[in-house]
């Protein structure tokens, strides 16, 4: 009954129809403008860290000690210690990662990142079977870092090493995970 | 309360919500949806209480959870209920899903009801995922690392999505704040929005009754939602509540592993309801991992969402809808099978069992040390309370610049591997000027001693007997020792028991805590290296606690190899 009356009225006052449409459109547009104007900085604040280096201090050349007492073909896990910057925090020297150091009979050094190239877990050395093992999804690597079995898409990541004044330096950096190429992040 | 009723119309409002007719009568099979609402409310309540104590930063998260668990009244119970509640929601969601599937409640016109329900299931899984990271312990840290790495595998946008989720290029403060804001703001808002849609749609279309009774019979057996269905819902909620309490008491609350250590090798395992995905990943090697991690789960999820459009049977009876029942059964069986496989695989793996035991021990140590106060650096810094750990840190920080140790370190001071242990001392006597001992230093005045094996052993025994000043030294050993000192002219430089020279370290209380401390505090004093000394004095460089820890560590080197 009411609907009917309303329709009759609007037929009579056709100007009302246009006015009301205008009000409706304006309301929607203005509200949308508020929404968009506010949304831009909100979304930007939410997204921007994705493109930034918010956690740093974890790459570069690190001194991991002298090269005297390494045993041939026995991997040794050495922590990488450095300053860590995490958003608003700056931490004094702390363990920011680790490497597996391997010396061959010609006294040449290889440094493997302990980070499994599959999905980022820490890789272990299993003395009994003579292989590197990732405890998360059972990726196995031989002493040279080649994939023996398991889901790892590539071999263990080797890191650049340098010997200066009898000390071993490792260029510690993190590589992208889950792909077959070794690319720094 | 007519006064209240006149002003608010509360009674009418209450009736509107509860006076819904349930055709076919109230049933036990309908309780799961309400149970989910009940558990969700419990999660909100326990979550809010936890939030009055929890702090989402890398330095404080672990400490705040430790505090809730061990230092508050009933905090452990609230946290335990919250933890068990998350598992309860998953179980109830699957039961609810199964019931609606069996009853055919997804069919037209209730397709959107089904879809909103599936989205809520995904949100619940999201709650589990985000909540797991919040304690910032080893378990949460590594399991979530795997999860975000998987997100990074999505083609094209993966890296970007991973960056948004973890708040940057790596895990840190921003990761925790993001996960927390998802867990506490975005996801609850999302769940409540979908819940409102879901319940509105349910009210609009009414319950889907059992397939056997016909229209007339259903209408005859109609009962009101309140109190008939509500009563059944409450009984079931009661059972759920009691079960949760029993589980919390049995498990002694939720666990807390040791603080997250990014440089460690921890075995990452997700919560039990993600184990099937974890197991699935193992079957996709190398480049194929995208298939197992992203493609297959996405396809299955899409099929579940689209289910009402794929299976369009008109019948309520599950027997007439065998394809959808069969598919659901197969999926459920697959998930259960994969979950069991992953447990079996882990429980049969010795290496994993051993690592789990070590993690438990470390967690235990961390919690004990936390009681002594966690340094502001938080998390891992708690191990500084351990004299062994702290001592080793100090040693590596201050000493191995000059001293070599276990194959690393400096080369201008004696090697301290197994310092003062029997083999170390024997080697020392035989060749004090070897590079391993004083060869690299300015001190080159001590001669080698070509002693008989027995004499050498006795001498070392005698010297090491000085290390425990509380213990009475065996008089025979003392006499033997003094005799050897006399015969080999040690007294020319060294003093013992008030007799001897003063150009070499005093031998009284040799290798004792007191001796070590005094030597490190001021090695240049007459009692030690005097004018030959090149080692800095640490008296003002280390606090008393630090000195105690360092000495503790050095003593462990002697005792370990003994």
* Cβ-Cβ contacts under 8 Å, A141 against chain B: none
Q: Do A177 and B152 touch (CB under 8 A)?
A: yes
| Cα(B418)–Cα(B414) distance, integer angstroms | 12
Tell me if the pTM is above 0.80.
no
Backbone φ, ψ for residue B495 (5° rounding): -105, 140
* Cβ-Cβ contacts under 8 Å, B172 against chain A: 54-55, 86-87
User: Which of A89, A121, A149 is facing B142, going by the closest CB pair?
Assistant: A121
Backbone φ, ψ for residue A149 (5° rounding): -165, 170
> pLDDT for B447-457, tens place per residue?
888 888 888 88
At a CB cut-off of 8 Å and minimum separation 6, what does B417 contact? Answer: B404, B405, B406, B407, B424, B557
Per-residue DSSP letter, B167:
T
Give the closest-approach CA distance of B168 to chain A in angstroms. 4
What pLDDT is recorded for position B25? 86
> pLDDT for A26-53, tens place per residue?
999 999 999 999 999 999 999 998 888 8
> So where are chain A's domains?
2-49, 55-172
Q: How far is CA A94 from CA A26, B169, B300, B462, B557, in A?
A: 59, 19, 44, 41, 23
Q: Where in chain B is the domain with CATH 1.20.810.10?
A: 23-362
H helices present in B306-415, as ranges: 307-310, 322-347, 350-370, 387-394
Give the 3-state secondary structure of B460-523. Answer: HHHHHHCCCCCCCCCHHHHHHHHHHHHHCCHHHCCEECCEECCCCCCCCCCCCHHHHHHHHHCC
Q: What is the DSSP string of A135-177?
A: TTTTEEE-TT--EEESS-SSPPPEE-EEEETTEEEEEE--B-S
Contact B386, B407 (CB under 8 A): no
Task: Evaluate if residue A127 carries a pLDDT over 90.
Answer: no
> pLDDT for A70-106, tens place per residue?
677 888 888 787 888 899 998 877 777 889 988 888 8
What pLDDT is recorded for position A8? 54
User: Which of A68, A119, A154 is facing B150, going by the closest CB pair?
Assistant: A119
Per DSSP, the three-state class of B403 is strand
* Cβ-Cβ contacts under 8 Å, A172 against chain B: none
Task: Evaluate if residue A180 carries a pLDDT over 90.
Answer: no
User: Which of B266, B285, B377 is facing A150, going by the closest CB pair?
Assistant: B285
| A55-172 is classed CATH 2.102.10.10 | yes
Per DSSP, the three-state class of B108 is coil
Residue of B nearest to A46 (CA): B164
Which stretches of chain B score pLDDT less than 70? Answer: 286, 561-562
What pLDDT is recorded for position A12? 54
What pLDDT is recorded for position B443? 83
Is this complex's ipTM strictly greater than 0.90?
no
β-strand partners of A102:
A110
A13 burial level (CB within 10 Å; 0-12, 13-18, 19+): exposed
A63 contacts chain B (CB < 8 A):
no
Per-residue DSSP letter, A71:
P
* Cβ-Cβ contacts under 8 Å, B156 against chain A: none
Give the closest-approach CA distance of B271 to chain A in angstroms. 14
* Cβ-Cβ contacts under 8 Å, B159 against chain A: 176
- What CATH number does the domain located at B23-362 have? 1.20.810.10
At a CB cut-off of 8 Å and minimum separation 6, what does B392 contact? Answer: B553
* A residues 1..60 contacting B (CB < 8 A): 46-47, 49-56, 58
A6 band by pLDDT with thresholds 50, 70 and 90: low
What pLDDT is recorded for position B360? 92
* Cβ-Cβ contacts under 8 Å, A79 against chain B: 263
> pLDDT for B30-60, tens place per residue?
999 999 999 999 999 999 999 999 999 999 9
Best-predicted range by mean pLDDT among A158-167, A169-178, B4-13, B67-76? B67-76
The sheet carrying A89-103 orders its strands as A55-56, A76-86, A89-103, A109-113, A158-159
Give the closest-approach CA distance of A132 to chain B in angstroms. 12
Contact B132, B143 (CB under 8 A): yes
């Amino acid at each position: 009954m009411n609907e009917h009356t309303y329709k009759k009225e609007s037929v009579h006052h056709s100007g009302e129809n246009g006015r009301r449409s205008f009000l409706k459109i304006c309301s929607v547009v203005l509200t949308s403008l508020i929404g968009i104007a506010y949304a831009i900085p909100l979304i930007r604040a939410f997204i921007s860290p994705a493109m930034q280096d918010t956690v740093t201090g974890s790459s570069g050349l690190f001194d991991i000690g002298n090269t005297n007492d390494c045993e041939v073909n026995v991997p040794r896990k050495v922590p990488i210690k450095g300053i860590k910057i995490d958003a608003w925090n700056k931490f004094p020297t702390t363990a920011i990662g680790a490497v597996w150091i391997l010396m061959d009979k010609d006294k040449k050094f290889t440094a493997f990142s302990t980070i499994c190239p599959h999905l980022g877990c820490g890789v272990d050395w299993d003395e009994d079977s003579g292989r590197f093992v990732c405890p998360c999804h059972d990726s196995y690597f031989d002493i040279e870092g080649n994939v023996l079995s398991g889901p790892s898409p590539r071999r263990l990541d080797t890191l650049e090493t340098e010997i200066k004044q009898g000390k071993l330096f490792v260029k510690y950096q993190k590589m992208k995970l889950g792909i077959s190429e070794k690319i720094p992040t | 309360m007519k006064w209240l009723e006149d002003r608010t119309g509360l009674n009418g409002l209450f009736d509107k919500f509860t006076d819904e007719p349930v055709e076919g009568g109230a049933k036990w099979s309908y309780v799961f949806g309400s149970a989910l609402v009940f558990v969700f409310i419990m999660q909100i309540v326990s979550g809010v209480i936890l939030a009055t104590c929890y702090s989402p930063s890398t330095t404080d998260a672990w400490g705040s959870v430790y505090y809730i668990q061990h230092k508050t009244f009933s905090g452990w119970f609230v946290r335990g209920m919250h933890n068990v509640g998350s598992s309860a929601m998953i179980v109830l969601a699957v039961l609810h899903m199964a019931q609606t599937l069996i009853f055919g409640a997804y069919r037209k016109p209730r397709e959107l009801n089904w879809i909103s329900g599936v989205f809520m299931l995904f949100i619940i899984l999201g709650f589990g995922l985000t909540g797991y990271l919040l304690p910032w312990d080893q378990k949460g840290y590594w399991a979530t690392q795997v999860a975000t790495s998987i997100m990074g595998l999505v083609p094209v946008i993966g890296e970007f999505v991973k960056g948004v989720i973890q708040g940057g290029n790596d895990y840190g403060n921003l990761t925790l704040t993001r996960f927390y804001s998802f867990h506490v703001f975005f996801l609850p808002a999302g769940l409540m929005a979908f819940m409102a849609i879901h319940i509105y749609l349910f009210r609009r279309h009414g319950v889907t009754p059992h397939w056997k009774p016909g229209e007339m019979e259903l209408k005859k057996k109609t009962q009101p939602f309140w109190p008939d269905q509500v009563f059944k819902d409450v009984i079931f909620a009661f059972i759920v509540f009691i079960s949760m309490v029993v589980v919390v008491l049995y498990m002694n609350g939720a666990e807390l592993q040791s603080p997250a250590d990014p440089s460690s090798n921890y075995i990452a395992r997700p919560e039990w309801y993600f184990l099937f995905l974890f197991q699935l990943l193992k079957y996709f090697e190398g480049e194929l991992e995208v298939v197992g991690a992203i493609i297959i789960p996405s396809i299955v999820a899409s099929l579940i969402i689209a289910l009402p459009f794929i299976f369009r049977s008109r019948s309520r009876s599950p027997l007439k809808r065998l394809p959808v029942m069969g598919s659901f059964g197969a999926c459920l069986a697959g998930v259960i099978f994969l979950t069991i496989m992953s447990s079996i695989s882990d429980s049969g793996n010795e290496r994993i069992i051993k690592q789990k035991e070590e993690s438990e021990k470390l967690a235990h140590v961390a919690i004990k040390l936390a009681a002594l106060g966690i340094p502001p650096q938080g998390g891992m810094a708690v191990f500084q309370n351990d004299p062994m750990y702290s001592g080793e840190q100090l040693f590596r920080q201050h000493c191995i610049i000059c001293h070599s140790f276990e194959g690393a370190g400096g080369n201008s001071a004696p090697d301290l591997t197994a310092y003062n242990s029997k083999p170390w001392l024997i080697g020392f006597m035989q060749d004090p000027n070897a590079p391993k001992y004083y060869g690299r230093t300015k001190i080159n005045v001590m001669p080698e001693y070509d002693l008989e094996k027995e004499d050498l052993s006795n001498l070392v025994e005698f010297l090491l007997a000085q290390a425990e000043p509380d213990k009475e030294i065996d008089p025979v050993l003392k006499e033997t020792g003094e005799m050897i000192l006399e015969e080999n002219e040690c007294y020319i430089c060294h003093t013992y028991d008030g007799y001897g020279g003063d150009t070499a370290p005093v031998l009284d209380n040799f290798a004792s805590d007191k001796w070590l401390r005094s030597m490190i505090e001021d090695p240049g004093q007459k009692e030690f290296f005097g004018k030959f000394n090149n080692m800095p004095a640490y008296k003002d460089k280390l606090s008393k606690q630090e000195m105690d820890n360092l000495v503790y560590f050095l003593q462990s080197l002697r005792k370990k190899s003994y």
